[in-house]
Amino acid sequence: MQNLCLRKALKQLVCIFFMKIAFIVGPFPILSETFILNQITGLLVRGQEVHIYGYHPDDTSKTHPDVEKYKLLDRTYYIPQIPNNYFLRFLKGLSLICTNFYKKPLVLLQSLNIFRYGKRATSMRLLYSVIPLLNSQSYDIIHCQFGMYGIEGMILRDIGAIKGKLITSFRGFDISWYVKACGKDVYNELFVKGNFFLANCEFFKQRAIQLGCDEKKIVVHGSGIDCSRFTYKPRYPRPDGKIMIATTGRLIEKKGIEYGIRAVAKVAKLHQNFEYNIIGDGYLKENLQEVIDELNVADKVKLLGWKNQKEIIEILDNTHLFIAPSITAEDGNQDAPVNTLKEAMAMGLPVIGTRHGGIPELVEDGISGFLVPERDSDAIAQKVHYFIEHPEMWEQMGRAGRVYVEEHYDMNRLNDELVKIYQQVVMSSSHSFHQIPNVSVNS
C-alpha cells in the first residue's frame, strides 16, 4: 500500500514538470486564431508535449511563421474529410470502420450509438471525429478551444476515444451566438462533466456562470500576444499633416466596420487630409465597398484584404489611430478583448473601441483611448475629430495602452499561468474539482 501511494505521488510529481496535452480545435491552422497558436507554442517552449486534433483549413495559402518554426503540422492529426453527399459519407464511413476496427472496436461502435448521440451518430460525424484518436494514448489535459469543441471533447472522452482531464476555453461566439442558436441548456452536461473552464474575459466568465457553470470551476485567462513582436513607438503628426487611421478584423457583422466607415465619412466633412485602412476579408466585403462608394470616400477609405502579421505590423507602424467598432450581431455574436486591438495598443496607438463584450476590460476610457456606444458612428466621428484636433494626446494614451497590454496580456506571462492551471487540474483528485485553489491569472 505504501509503495502504491509512493508511485502515485511520483507520477503526480512528474506531471508537474511534464504533461501530455491534447488540443481539440476547429480548422487548424488559421490566421485569425493566433491566440491558439500562441498557447501551443508557449507550451512547447515550456517543455510540454502537445498534440492537435482538428479539421483541415479551407485556405492554406497563408499561415503564421510559427507553424513551420515549431513544425506544428507534424503534431496535428486531422479528422478525415466528411463528404456532403450522405451516400458517399456512408461508404467512406464503412471503409473507415473496416480499416480501423481492430484498433478500438468498442469506441467505433459507441460512435454509432444513435440512441445516445442522435444526429452526431446518424450523420457519422462522431465516427469521423474518432478516427484520428484511435492511436492516441492517455493525456494529462484535453484542452478544447471553444465551447462547442468542449462538447465534442466530452463525448469523445465518454466513449473512450481519449482520456484526460477536460478543460474548455470560452472565447466569444461560442458563449454568445452558439448559445442563442442552440439554446441556453446547450452546455448543461459539459458544465457537469468538464473538469475546468477558462474564459478569455470577465464578461464571458459571468455569462458562463449565468448559464450554469460552477463559479469554482472557471477562471479568466486572457488571450495573449507576443509583445516583443509589436514594437512600441510614440505617435506624432507627419510633416505633411496626414492622419493615418486603421482597423484590423474580419469583414463580418460583429466587427461593426460599417460604423467605422460611416464615422470617417462624417469626419471627412471637416478634415480632408486622412486615410482609413481596413485590414481583413470576409463575406461583407462587397457590401462595405458599396457603403464606401455611396458615401463618396473611396479616395480615403481602403479595403486592403488579408495581410500576414508582418504586413499588418508595417501598416500599423505608419498609423496614428486605431478603431475597433465591434457590435453585437443580430445573431447574438459578440467579441472578447480582441487581439488585433491589443496589438495596436502594444505598438503605441491610441484607440477608439465600443462598449461591447470584453472590450471595456481592455480599453481604459480616457486613458488609453475612448469607449463609445455600439452602432454609433456619430460618437466614433466625435472621438476621431478629437484626436485630430489634439495630437498631443497620442503619445500619452498610446503609452498607457502599451503598459496595460504588457501587464495584462503578455503571452509569456499568460502561458506560465496556463501551465499552472494545468498542473492544478492534474493534481486535483475529485470529480468536481471544487478544491482547486483560486488561480491568480490576468484578465
Identify the pLDDT of residue 5.
Answer: 52
Identify whether 439 is part of a domain: no
Q: How far apart are CA 330 and CA 357, in angstroms?
A: 14
Cβ distance 17 to 48 under 8 Å?
A: no
* 90/153 same-domain check: yes
* 220/260 same-domain check: no
Identify whether 382 is part of a domain: yes
Residues 6+ apart with CB under 8 A from 1: none
Chain position carrying cell 507520477: 11
> Using alpha carbons only, how large is the chain's radius of gyration in Å?
24
Chain position carrying cell 480548422: 27
198: three-class secondary structure by DSSP: strand
Q: How far apart are CA 53 and CA 72, in angstroms?
A: 11
Identify the pLDDT of residue 59.
Answer: 76
pLDDT in tens, 165-219: 999 999 999 999 999 999 999 999 999 999 999 999 999 999 999 999 999 999 9
pLDDT in tens, 203-217: 999 999 999 999 999
- Does position 441 have pLDDT exceeding 60, yes or no? no
Q: How far apart are CA 320 and CA 348, in angstroms?
A: 9
pLDDT in tens, 2-57: 555 555 555 555 555 789 999 999 999 987 788 899 999 999 999 999 999 999 98
Instruction: Write down the mean pLDDT value for the chain.
Output: 91
User: What does the pLDDT average to over 129-157?
Assistant: 94
- Does position 443 have pLDDT exceeding 50, yes or no? no
CA distances from 273 to 241, 245, 315, 323, 342 (A): 7, 11, 18, 17, 27
pLDDT in tens, 342-384: 999 999 999 999 999 999 999 999 999 999 999 999 999 999 9
* 231/265 same-domain check: yes
Chain position carrying cell 486591438: 341
- Does position 266 have pLDDT exceeding 60, yes or no? yes
* 216/142 same-domain check: yes
Quick one: which of 281, 289, 284 has its CA closest to 248? 281
Which neighbouring-strand residues pair with 435?
A: none
How many residues are present in the chain? 443
Quick one: which of 121, 65, 117, 63 has its CA closest to 89? 121
* 153/241 same-domain check: no
Domain that holds residue 368: 227-409
- Does position 435 have pLDDT exceeding 80, yes or no? no
- Does position 112 have pLDDT exceeding 60, yes or no? yes
* 245/316 same-domain check: yes
107-116, 121-130, 360-369, 425-434: range with lowest mean pLDDT: 425-434
Strand arrangement, sheet containing 274-279? 301-305, 274-279, 243-248, 321-324, 351-354, 369-372
Q: How far apart are CA 321 and CA 338, in angstroms?
A: 16
Q: How far apart are CA 235 and CA 321, in angstroms?
A: 9
* 214/135 same-domain check: yes
Nearest-5° angle of CA 248, CA 254, CA 258? 65
Identify whether 149 is part of a domain: yes
* 302/382 same-domain check: yes
User: What does the pLDDT average to over 151-158?
Assistant: 96
Chain position carrying cell 482609413: 276
pLDDT band at 64 (very low <50, low <70, confident <90, very high): confident
The residue among 241 and 438 whose pLDDT is bigger is: 241
Query: Looking at the 3D structure of the chain, how many domains does it have?
Result: 2
Identify whether 432 is part of a domain: no
Identify whether 75 is part of a domain: yes
CA distances from 255 to 61, 250, 259, 260, 340 (A): 24, 7, 9, 10, 11
Cβ distance 191 to 214 under 8 Å?
A: yes
Identify the pLDDT of residue 432.
Answer: 45
pLDDT in tens, 293-315: 999 999 999 999 988 888 999 99
* 278/254 same-domain check: yes
* 211/271 same-domain check: no
Identify the pLDDT of residue 436.
Answer: 47
- For 389, the grid coordinates are 484636433
- Does position 440 have pLDDT exceeding 60, yes or no? no
Identify whether 438 is part of a domain: no
* 189/324 same-domain check: no
Identify the pLDDT of residue 99.
Answer: 95
Long-range Cβ contact pairs of 203-208 (< 8 A, separation 24 or more) = 203/336, 203/357, 203/358, 203/361, 204/170, 204/171, 204/172, 204/175, 204/176, 204/336, 204/357, 204/358, 205/170, 207/170, 207/175, 207/176, 207/179, 208/170, 208/175
- Does position 237 have pLDDT exceeding 70, yes or no? yes
State the CATH number of the domain containing residue 64. 3.40.50.2000
pLDDT in tens, 392-433: 999 999 999 999 999 999 999 999 999 999 999 998 864 444
Percent of the chain at pLDDT exceeding 90: 83
Identify whether 434 is part of a domain: no
* 199/231 same-domain check: no
Q: How far apart are CA 324 and CA 305, in angstroms?
A: 17
pLDDT band at 1 (very low <50, low <70, confident <90, very high): low
Identify whether 435 is part of a domain: no
Q: How far apart are CA 107 and CA 193, in angstroms?
A: 19
